Amino acid sequence: MKKRKELQSEQLEALSEKIASNFFSLDLGNVRYLHIYYPIPGKHEIDSLFISERIRLHYKQIQLILPKSDLVSCTLKHIRWDDSTPLSMNAWGITEPLSGEEVPVGKIDLIVIPLLACDVDGNRLGYGKGFYDRFLSTCRPDALKVGLSYFEPLSTIIPHESHDVRLDACVTPEKVWNFTRPAQPEPDNDPNE
């Protein structure tokens, strides 16, 4: 957080633009529902609006989804986000939909994830409230989990537990880091069931 806060506003914008440019090297051909966050003012987050604006202009087949926080249960609802979606800032300063069509988690193909840092194994460090940990644990195994970071991944120093969901990729100003996805278990096709 300290390293991020040391960046000047011009640097933040330039780095966010580079990250957005690199983001579009990902294969979005099969993406129909893309979950993205709205940057929190004052937190020096990557400006994800560079990505969402380009999606709206050039990827008409992709529907954007914004999270809506339940600040009591620390869970997220997933609301379809278009030009008519009313937005408002919640008690934590997060811009989110006031209302709108809720999208089932199972429809989401790609999740753009805010983070403080990640490591070379795809483990991420968030803000500590567990909103995204809870959300990611309910996503389809094949849904792409993509972090955005101003900085390159660290060596394996991010603490993690067996239930933590790893990133599939992290987009930085320099490049897209692809992390090896663990093999999914074969479905049990027992004919006796």
**In this predicted model, what pLDDT tens digit does every residue of 34-80 receive, in sequence order?**
999 999 878 889 999 999 999 999 999 999 999 998 888 888 999 99
128 appears as a binding residue in the annotation: yes
Say if residue 124 carries a ligand binding annotation. Answer: yes
The CATH number given to whatever domain includes residue 80 is: 3.40.50.10420
Q: Establish whether 122 is an annotated binding residue.
A: no
Residue 106 DSSP code: G
| Domains: count for the chain | 1
Averaged pLDDT of the chain: 88
Higher pLDDT, 51 or 166: 51
- Asked whether residue 34 is domain-assigned, the answer is yes
Give the mean pLDDT of 144-155: 94
Provide mean pLDDT across the span 31-35. 98
When pLDDT is averaged across residues 29-34 and rounded to a whole number, the result is 97
- What is the predicted pLDDT for the residue at 27? 94
Residue 96 domain boundaries = 2-178
187 domain-assigned: no
**What percent of the chain clears pLDDT 70, i.e. is strictly above it?**
89
Residue 149: inside a domain: yes
Residue 101 lies in a domain: yes
- How far out from the chain centre does Cα 4 lie? 18
**Does the residue 183 lie in any domain?**
no
The answer to whether residue 81 is domain-embedded is yes
In a domain, 130, yes or no: yes
Question: What b-and-e string marks burial along 126-157, b requiring 16 or more CB atoms within 10 Å of the CB?
Answer: beeeebbbebbeebeeebbbbbbbbeebeeee
What DSSP designation does 98 have?
A: S
CB-based burial label for 79 (10 Å; 0-12, 13-18, 19+): buried
Asked if residue 89 belongs to a domain, the reply is: yes
Per the annotation, does 37 bind a ligand? Answer: no
Q: What is the pTM of this model?
A: 0.87
User: Is 147 known as a binding-site position?
Assistant: no
User: Has 135 been labeled as part of a binding site?
Assistant: no
